[in-house]
């Protein structure tokens, strides 16, 4: 008789990361509803308001390489707890905003550092340490947590703003989010025994020789550092692809509520449309993750890019010929495209740079992703101010995602590792 497999503690880590990302990224994606409230109260231009989000994205991404290296080399819970405290402090200070530079200081700097230290890079690095097999499924599950944040938290925060005001909403978030995250981290997060120890080059080489998924043993057996990775062509192809993808995604996320309000929809209904993106992305991220364990990354990334283009296309159609069905079609297709980008990015990076330095390398890639997202959010606001509409913005975004897809094919992760199943879970 077969002995039953022992429960893999990594799935507990997946659950913690899922909840953490849902809460942390509710701060990120709730910007679009606070954005409308702040513009109404203070009379800022869209470019000034969007500039705060751009700086937020840059700062949260700028610390990515350092956070990744700390997760690689120290106890992950320390980094995550510190980030949670900074999120709470920054959000509480946001409730006292009186002028634009207050918002830039409290949200775009302090809160952003907290999100960077408790968000995507540390959680992805942690999962990468715990999972060799079924990594795509694990990544898909935790990234779907962000969708839960969009689905539940963003409409909830919009409700709080309408009922109690945006200052009270910030205070509630400042207490609730760090409290839940810190409790989970203290109780459950610990380093993985599968994490690669320092000075283990010979051990790594032996594992690679036995790994049936490795195609290019020479590449996979390299002892990667951030500097070595940045000296390769695939690193910059991935950087360009992820940067342009983030340019598109964050432009839409930052301006979708404002776009729908410009088209005549009321703010609460517009926030529900954001929730649709969230609910569709939840299952989509898990689906893309599971498929990524079986199907070529390039093919899946192409399918996801096509969904993104269709999603933006429905926004263009809605702005030209309003129809009640178009916002829902946008929510469906854009969510599918966004989910593919979120789920596949860390997996493609791991195909090339798996190992002890993955956290630092992935954090560096995410810095450039942040630059793309920040510049996209600001540029979309600037172009809207200049032209009075989002039409030109949306056309540019469709071009960007097309170039992003082309660069993934040029990088060719299929030539480094084949996609398949190793058999056992864990």
Assess contact for 246 and 370: CB atoms under 8 A.
yes
Using CA atoms, how far apart are residues 426 and 417, in angstroms rounded to an integer? 19
Kindly list the distances between the CA atom of residue 5 and the CA atoms of 9, 170, 189, 318, in Å, as whole numbers in the listed order.
Answer: 12, 45, 22, 52
Please choose, from the candidates 102, 103, 254, 130, the residue with its C-alpha nearest in 3D space to the C-alpha of residue 190.
130
For residue 151, count other CB atoms closer than 10 A to its CB.
23
Strand partners, 417: 214
CATH 1.20.1250.20 fits 10-192+200-415, yes or no: yes
143-183, pLDDT tens digit by residue? 888 877 777 777 788 888 888 989 999 999 999 999 999 99
- Each residue's pLDDT, cut to its tens digit, for the chain (426 residues) gives 444 454 577 788 889 999 999 999 889 878 878 888 888 888 877 777 777 887 887 888 888 888 887 877 766 778 899 999 999 999 999 999 988 889 999 999 999 999 999 988 888 888 887 777 778 888 888 888 887 777 777 778 888 888 898 999 999 999 999 999 999 988 887 766 555 555 444 554 555 555 666 776 778 778 888 889 999 999 999 999 999 999 998 888 878 877 888 888 877 777 778 778 778 888 888 888 888 888 888 999 999 999 999 999 998 988 888 777 888 899 899 989 988 988 899 889 988 988 778 888 888 898 888 888 878 877 888 888 888 888 888 999 999 999 999 999 999 888 887 776 543 433
pLDDT score for 74: 64
pLDDT score for 424: 41
The separation between CA 386 and the C-alpha centre of its own chain, rounded to angstroms, equals: 29
Phi-psi region of 44 (alpha: psi -120 to 50; beta: other; left: phi over 0): beta
Domain boundaries, the chain: 10-192+200-415
Cα 166-18-284 angle, rounded to 5 deg: 95
pLDDT score for 208: 54
């Amino acid at each position: 008789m077969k002995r039953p497999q022992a429960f893999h503690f990594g799935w507990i880590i997946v659950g913690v990361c899922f909840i953490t990302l849902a809460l942390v990224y509710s701060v990120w994606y709730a910007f679009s509803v606070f954005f409308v409230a702040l513009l109404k109260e203070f009379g800022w231009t869209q470019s000034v308001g969007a500039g705060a989000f751009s700086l937020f994205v840059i700062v949260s991404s700028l610390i990515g390489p350092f956070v990744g290296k700390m997760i690689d080399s120290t106890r992950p819970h320390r980094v995550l707890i510190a980030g949670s405290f900074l999120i709470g402090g920054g959000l509480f200070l946001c409730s006292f905003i009186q002028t634009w530079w207050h918002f830039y200081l409290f949200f775009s700097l302090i809160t952003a550092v907290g999100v960077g230290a408790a968000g995507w890079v540390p959680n992805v690095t942690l999962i990468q340490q715990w999972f060799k097999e079924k990594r795509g499924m694990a990544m898909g599950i935790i990234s779907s947590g962000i969708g839960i944040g969009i689905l539940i938290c963003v409409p909830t925060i919009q409700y709080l703003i309408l009922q109690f005001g945006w200052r009270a909403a910030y205070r509630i978030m400042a207490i609730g989010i760090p409290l839940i995250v810190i409790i989970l981290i203290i109780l459950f997060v610990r380093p993985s025994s599968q994490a690669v120890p320092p000075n283990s080059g010979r051990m790594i080489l032996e594992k690679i020789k036995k790994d049936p998924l490795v195609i290019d043993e020479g590449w996979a057996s390299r002892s990667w550092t951030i500097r070595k990775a940045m000296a390769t062509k695939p690193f910059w192809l991935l950087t360009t692809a992820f940067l342009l993808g983030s340019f598109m995604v964050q432009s839409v996320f930052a301006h979708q509520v404002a776009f729908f309000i410009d088209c005549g929809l009321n703010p609460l209904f517009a926030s529900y449309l954001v929730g649709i993106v969230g609910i569709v992305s939840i299952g989509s991220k898990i689906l893309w993750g599971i498929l990524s364990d079986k199907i070529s990354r390039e093919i899946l990334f192409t399918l996801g890019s096509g969904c993104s283009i269709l999603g933006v296309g429905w926004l263009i159609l809605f702005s030209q010929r309003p129809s009640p069905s178009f916002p829902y079609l946008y929510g469906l297709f854009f969510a599918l495209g966004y989910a593919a980008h979120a789920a596949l990015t860390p997996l493609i990076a791991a195909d090339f740079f798996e190992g002890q330095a993955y956290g630092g390398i992935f954090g560096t890639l995410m810095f450039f992703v942040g630059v793309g997202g920040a510049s996209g959010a600001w540029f979309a606001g600037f172009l809207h101010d200049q032209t009075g509409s989002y039409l030109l913005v949306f056309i540019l975004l469709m071009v960007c995602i097309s170039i992003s897809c082309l660069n993934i094919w040029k990088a060719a992760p299929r030539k480094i590792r084949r996609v398949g199943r190793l058999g056992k879970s864990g």
